[in-house]
Amino acid sequence: MPHVSVQAEPYPFEFDPTATALLVIDMQRDFVEPGGFGEMLGNDVTPLRRAIAPTRRVLEAVRARGMMVIHTREGHRPDLSDLPPTKKARGHLKTGIGDAGPMGRVLIRGEPGHDIVPELAPRPGEPVIDKPGKGSFYATDLELILRERGIRSLIVCGVTTEVCVHTTVREANDRGFECLVLQDCVASYFPEFQDAAIKMIKAQGGIFGWVSDSATLLRALDGVGAKTA
């Protein structure tokens, strides 16, 4: 497959599609859908929902080219044995992780709110990484899977930009993976955090990654023919 160059900041992002995975972080109903945990906490989910359509276009394009796709979900075991008491206590929430929430027990594996939104549902064969933390590498087998598949670069979508996306991109960067973050495919409940988080990634010569957008990536992928079945 040809090598791809995407216009990005602070400079073009170069990748080999056979050594690149699309990583879709925590596009879960409890964070993204009206009536979920995120909205229950007083957040407006509109900015998060705006990331769904461009992420879907990117998903379809990379799937059509046979590139690897990986999804993550933040959540815990039903017995809460992987939930640090500090995380449970944070925020002094009346309804917090593990409690009965609007879409089942909040951030518990197997509950409706923990599911990925149907628009971005994983396909068979696409790994789904269940993570107890904000980072996708901490306490998961993500790194093992990436190394076994020869992945060196990540294209990153998901929520929220300043929390799980940032933590994951920082973890990936420290492990030697190169990350391209698509700014219209990542989102925050807080516009000022979105702006700052995007600036921080590409600052100082790309201190821990590159930033581009879905349309620019899709144009670059046009040069990589879709696989015929």
- Do residues 23 and 178 lie in contact, with contact meaning Cβ atoms separated by under 8 Å? no
- Residues 127 and 217: their CA atoms lie apart, in Å, by 22
State the nearest-atom distance from the C-beta of 14 to ligand C5J, in Å: 28
Catalytic one of 157, 164, 179, 185:
164
Q: Both tokens of residue 145?
A: 């899977």
What residue ranges bind ligand C5J (CB under 6 A)? 26, 31, 74, 134, 159-160, 163-164
> In the complex with ligand C5J, which residue's Cβ is closer, 18 or 140?
140
Output DSSP code: residue 202. H
State the nearest-atom distance from the C-beta of 25 to ligand C5J, in Å: 6
State the nearest-atom distance from the C-beta of 2 to ligand C5J, in Å: 34
- Residues 135 and 165: their CA atoms lie apart, in Å, by 8
- Do residues 113 and 106 lie in contact, with contact meaning Cβ atoms separated by under 8 Å? yes
Catalytic residue check, 26: yes
E strand map for 46-151: 68-74, 100-101, 104-105, 128-131
Catalytic residue check, 164: yes
Rg of the chain, C-alpha, whole Å: 17
Q: Both tokens of residue 157?
A: 């979508």
- Do residues 197 and 166 lie in contact, with contact meaning Cβ atoms separated by under 8 Å? yes
Q: Both tokens of residue 48?
A: 């998060």
E strand map for 61-192: 68-74, 100-101, 104-105, 128-131, 153-159, 178-187
One-letter amino acid of 10? P
> In the complex with ligand C5J, which residue's Cβ is closer, 55 or 160?
160
> In the complex with ligand C5J, which residue's Cβ is closer, 87 or 149?
87
Catalytic residues: 26, 131, 164
